[in-house]
Amino acid sequence: MTVNLTMLVVMGVLFSVGVYLLLERSLTRVLLGLMLLTNGANLLILHTSGVPGAAPLYDKSLGGSEYSDPLPQALVLTSIVISLATTAFLLSMIWRSWVLARRDEIQDDLEDRRVAQQSSYDAEDDDAMPQDTSEFSHGDARFTPSRHNAEEATESPGHHRVEKRQRDDGRSTHEH
């Protein structure tokens, strides 16, 4: 496989300009950036598919290596359909923004600024993990091999043994 330098430069320009346009605040520029990125990705898929070959239709006179691979073409076709749907969605967002505010720029929201100024510490995610107290924990006194007798081992996987225990108020409860 030979590398086409011109194709690589074109792909690089499409990707770089597409990313630059995606970082803008104007929805029209975001749309153009997305379209450039998808076209660059399509060229990349086609370029990596290899040298052009015969159409993938069976012919007795051709060997298996002489055919072109239809998978990259199918991937590009799928990518075109997805980019068309995304483009239609972004066009509807641009139109709605223009109808409501007569501009297509995304403005900073006060809530966005407040969230950006918050500390990155989250008490729920960053605190120490509590000790596992489930009955399946190996350090738990309730989990002992003596509780599991041969009768329980022969039960089918979908059935659970029900234990009847007395609560403090005198009523009985069922535990699985």
Secondary structure (H, E, C), 1-61 = CCCCHHHHHHHHHHHHHHHHHHCCCEHHHHHHHHHHHHHHHHHHHHHHCCCCCECCCCCCC
Per-residue pLDDT band for 151 (boundaries 50, 70, 90) equals: very low
Q: Which two tokens stand for residue 63?
A: 């060997």
Q: Tell me the pTM.
A: 0.57
* Percent residues over pLDDT 90 in the chain: 30
Fold exhibited by the domain 1-52+69-105: Helix Hairpins (1.10.287)
Q: pLDDT per residue over 69-101, tens digit each?
A: 788 888 999 999 999 999 999 999 999 988 888
What is the average per-residue pLDDT within 4-23? 92
pLDDT at residue number 71: 85
Domain locations along the chain: 1-52+69-105
Residue 152 has pLDDT above 50, yes or no: no
∠129-131-133 over CA atoms, to 5°? 135
Which of 25-29, 30-34, 61-65, 125-129 has the highest mean predicted lDDT (pLDDT)?
30-34
